[in-house]
Each structure stands twice: as C-alpha cells, then as structure tokens.
Structure 1
Amino acid sequence: MKIAVFASGTGSNFTALVQAIKQGQLAATIELLVCDQPDALVLKRAEAERIPIVCLKPSDFATKTAYEEQVKEALILHEIEFIVLAGYMRLIGPTLLEPYKNRIINIHPSLLPAFPGRTSIADAFDAGVSESGITIHYIDEGIDTGPIIYQKAVPILKTDTFATFTKRMHAVEHTIYPMVLEKIFQEGASNEKKSLN
C-alpha cells in the first residue's frame, strides 16, 4: 500500500510506522511526508529515511483550498492510496476529503468523543479521570469526529505524573497504529481483489 504520512511535529508516530514497515509488520511504503511546519523535527526523520517531502506553509497560500490543491497534486504524483495522519495539526478540507473518502486515517490520544482537540492528553490528566486511551478513526470535516475504527484504553495511575502518563500513551500509540493500519490495508487489498474478479 502506498501511503503518505501527514505530520506537524516531532514525528514519533512517523518513526514507529517506518520501523513497523522495516520489521515486516506493516505492508506499506511511505511514499511521501507532508508537513506544514518548516522547522518540524519530523522533516529530519524523513530525510534520514530518504522519504520524499512536501513541506508547505498554509500561510503562503491565499486560501485553504489553494494549499490543499498543491498537496493533492503531490499525492497524485506519488500515486498515494491512503493518507495517514501522525500529529498533523490541521483540519482536512473537502479538497482532500472528497478524493480520499474513507482513506484518511488519524490517531488521537483520547477515547473519543471524550477530549477532542490538540490538548487531549493534558485535558484527560487534568480532569482526574481514571483512564483515557487511544482512538484510531477516519477523518471527516470535524475536529476528531470521524467514524471510529479502534480504541484502546490506557489507565491513569495514581502514581502517574503528566510526563509518565504521556510516555505510556505514546508507547501504546506506537504499538497499535501500525497494527490497525495493517488490518485496514489488508481488508482494502482484499476488497479491491474481489472487485476485479
């Protein structure tokens, strides 16, 4: 499966996907990294892996549509089949949603619909709940509102600090994201084969 990873930050989930592919746990190739932050650490990680990069600042474009049109051109050029979000801090608009319907997947650090948005780990920790978790879901036009594919609970221990809880959340992300993506890609390939017969 040819995938593009969209990321805005350090790229720890990006690296976890790279490792899963190398270890044969994820039958995919990362054909492209799309990034909206020119100083993001994920760019260095992609360069180290010799993965092609498209880094565009949305503020350089007159409209969101213009920005996404240029991203879409790169996706078409690289024959991308699925878009995988890994800490991409922008809402996806119709320019990408329509051609990639049910083929844009996100990982979010909470048990949605609880704690949507950018600060979900801190929100859950500060709320004093006994558990949070990880949600993998399809993207729609809302903020973390798309159909849920998989969820995994992560307890908030009485001994946890924010740092230890965050570390455990990321460890779960890095384990389950490749696993769930592999299942989705296998099902997609199987359905495609059926439609050809």
Structure 2
Amino acid sequence: MSANYLMISRYPLKKGMEPRLAELLQPSAMKNYYLSIQGENKELLEFNSYAGFNEIQHDENNLDNILDNLTELLSGDVKRELVKYVESPIASEKCFPDSEYVQLRHVEVVPEFHSQYRSWREETIFNVVRSNKDKIESFEAYHSVFSTQPGVMFVSAFSVAPEEYMKSFTDENYQKIIQQAGDKYITGGNDGLYTRIYQKI
C-alpha cells in the first residue's frame, strides 16, 4: 500500500564511491536505497515512507545520521523533498518502491491548470502506464509538500531492463503526449520536467 508521505533524498556522490555504500546503508521496513544509472555523476536515492507528520518528527535523528555517515562520500549537500500521495494507475503493494529499478518523473504544473491536468493525465499518461502493466510493477503520483522543485512526482517501479521499460515512453505516441503537456500545463523551464532512472542497491 502506498505511503501517505514519501521523503525523497538525493545524495550526489564523489566519483568512485559507489562500492562503499553497502557498508554504510541500512535499509529497513520504512526506507530503501537506489543508485542512479544515467550520466557520469552518480546519485544515491533514499526513500523514507511515513503515515503522518508525527512519524517524520520521530525520524529526525535517522535523517541526520545517514547524512553524517555519508559525509566523506558526497560531492554536495543532500536534496530532500517531502511528497504526498495523490493517486496511482498501478497501485503499489508496498509503502515504497522495492523493485530492481525505479524512475522519478517530475512535472511542475501551472497551479490554475491542476484540475485540468489531472483529468488530462488520466486519459493520456495513465493510459500508457496501464497498457504496460506487464512491465511496470507500480506507478504512483505524488505532489510536493516541501520541495526546492515543487510539483508532481511520479514514482515508477519496474524490474525489466530499462531499455524495454522506456520503449513506450519514447515512441511517437508518447512524444505527442509530452508535447501536449508542454504546450498546456508545464512550467518551470528546464527544471519543470525531468526523469531519472535508479537501480536498487
């Protein structure tokens, strides 16, 4: 079952530090870790799931400890955002992704068009997702509560090869969907729309 709140933390790593992560990380029933597989600059991704705000307060020490443990491995400071669950065309059986791969898909939408955007994505993006349920284990839509990059965050979990997963999101049909989104709903410049794939550690 999807978490009410998801804390997404991204830690930029110095080159060559990936082998040291296993000895420093401690996955649990409430958190999980992934490593970016795209680009030269590697990034550690941490998911923390919460049922409510009181749990976040109780987890403050753990959030500090992980940053302290990784200090020597990081090339920059951690980027954290808290997002709230909205809906999912393919529901998750767990409170955070536990698949071999996960893709973060961020979209910043003009506020006055939020309602229209949600109706539009149900008939476009979500239809593509549902038609690929043989490849996608879960696909959840969240919205930022606290974030330096506000907006919608899609969390897509899958275990097939990334190339196979991406076929339906790079074909001509989906490019038309992206064009529609850019023309009608998306704001925020280059940061208004981004995607990145990570592999489970």
TM-score (norm 1): 0.29
Comparing both structures, which one devotes a greater share of its residues to helix? 1
Comparing both structures, which one devotes a greater share of its residues to strand? 2
Larger RCO (CA under 8 A, 6+ residues apart)? 2
TM-score (norm 2): 0.29
